[in-house]
Chain A
Amino acid sequence: MSSKSPPIVNYIVRRLIFLVFSLFLASISLFVLLRILPGDPANALLSVGATPEQIAAAQHKVGSDLPLLQQFGKWIGQLLSFQMGDSLISNAPVGREILSRLSVTVPLTLTAFAIAVALAIPFGFIAAYKAKTWYGSILNSVSQLGMAVPVFWVGVILVFVFALRLRVLPAGGFPPGGWGDLAGAIRALSLPVITIVLVMSASLIRYVRSATLDVLNSDYLRTSRALGSSFMEAMWRHGLRNAASPVISILGIELATTFVGAVVVESVFALPGLGSFLVRGISQHDYPVVQGVLFISTLAVLTIGFLADLIQRFIDPRLSRSLTGQIS
Chain B
Amino acid sequence: MTQQTRRYPLPLLVGLVLISIIFIMAVLSIFWLPYQLGDTSGSRLGAPSLHHWFGTDKLGRDLLSRIMIGARIAFEVGLLSVAIGAFLGVLLGLGAGFAQRWMDESFSALLDILIAFPTLLLAMLIVATRGASLTSAIVAIGLGMSAIIARLTRLLVKRVLTQDYITASRASGTSWPRVIVVHILPNIWPTLIVIFALQFGLAGLTEASLSYLGLGSPPPNASWGSLLQEAQATVLTAPIAAIVPGLLLIALVIGMNMIADGLREVADPTMRRSR
Contacts and interface: CB of A to CB of B under 8 A. Distances in A.
A282 B257 contact: no
A305 B209 CA distance: 24
Interface string B113-145: 101111011001111111110000000000000
Interface in A273-325: 278-279, 281-283, 290, 294, 297-298, 301-302, 304-305
Contacts of B71: none
B242 A282 contact: no
A95 interface: no
A18 to B, nearest CB: 7
Contact of B116 (A253, A261, A326): A253
Contacts of A156: 228, 231-232, 235, 242, 246
B121 A297 contact: yes
A257 B118 contact: yes
Given A34-B129, A152-B228, A156-B232, A260 B209 contact: no
A263 interface: yes
B250 A22 contact: no
A113 to B, nearest CB: 14
B141 to A, nearest CB: 14
A263 B120 contact: yes
A327 B113 CA distance: 11
A12 B108 CA distance: 19
Interface residues of B, number: 46
A104 to B, nearest CB: 17
A263 B205 CA distance: 15
Interface in B241-275: 242-243, 245-246, 249-250, 252-254, 257
B182 to A, nearest CB: 30
Contacts of A153: 228, 242, 245-246, 249-250
Given A148-B257, A153-B249, A33 B208 contact: no
A149 interface: yes
A159 interface: yes
Contact of A148 (B113, B121, B245, B254): B254
A292 B113 CA distance: 20
A164 B127 CA distance: 33
B181 interface: no
Contacts of B232: 156, 159, 268
Interface residues of A, number: 48
A274 to B, nearest CB: 11
A160 B242 contact: yes
A282 B216 CA distance: 12
Most A-side CB within 10 Å, residue of B130, B231, B243, B246: B246
A150 B206 CA distance: 9
A305 B250 contact: no
A152 B209 contact: yes
Nearest to B261: A144
A267 interface: yes
A252 B121 CA distance: 16
Contacts of B235: 156, 159-160, 164
B128 A147 contact: no
Interface in B163-220: 201, 205, 208-209, 212-215
B236 A253 contact: no
B130 A260 contact: no
B118 A256 contact: yes
A328 B105 contact: yes
Contacts of B112: 305, 328
Contact of A301 (B118, B214, B242): B118
A160 B120 contact: no
B113 A22 contact: yes
A192 B120 CA distance: 18
Contacts of A302: 113, 116
B121 A149 contact: no
B108 A328 contact: yes
B113 A279 contact: no
A287 B228 CA distance: 29
A37 interface: yes
15 contacts: A147-B257, A148-B205, A151-B209, A152-B208, A153-B246, A153-B250, A156-B246, A157-B242, A257-B120, A264-B213, A267-B212, A279-B124, A279-B215, A328-B109, A328-B112
Given A37-B129, A147-B257, A298-B117, 17 more contacts: A18-B109, A37-B130, A38-B129, A148-B257, A150-B205, A150-B208, A152-B208, A153-B249, A257-B118, A264-B212, A267-B212, A279-B213, A279-B215, A282-B128, A294-B128, A302-B113, A328-B108
Interface of B: 105, 108-109, 112-113, 115-118, 120-121, 124-132, 201, 205, 208-209, 212-215, 225, 228-229, 231-232, 235-236, 239, 242-243, 245-246, 249-250, 252-254, 257
